[in-house]
Amino acid sequence: MLPIDPQADRARRAWVDCPRCRDNRDCDTCAGSGTCTAHWRYLLAHSGRILHLQCPTCTHLWDHDSGFGKR
């Protein structure tokens, strides 16, 4: 298991499904339109619409295409 990135900051969060642990799959808040206080991800950085994320539950690192601005 990887450690949490030293640049991770709880103030920079994203609400994206973790592709490894999927810890939010049975959460009613995540299934709705709310922002869950338990199932957020560290937003480490971004490159345009590509988000660089880390899951605080399983420490998985991945890139996510947000689709923002996609035509």
> pTM for this structure?
0.87
54 and 44 Cβ atoms separated by less than 8 Å: yes
* The two structure tokens encoding residue 59: 């420490």
d(CA 57, CA 69): 30
pLDDT tens for 5-20 read: 999 999 999 999 999 9
pLDDT tens for 44-60 read: 999 999 999 999 999 99
Number of residues in the chain: 71
pLDDT tens for 27-39 read: 999 888 778 999 9
Q: How many secondary structure helices (H) and strands (E) does the chain include? A: 1, 4
Residue 71 pLDDT: 67
Domain boundaries, the chain: 13-65
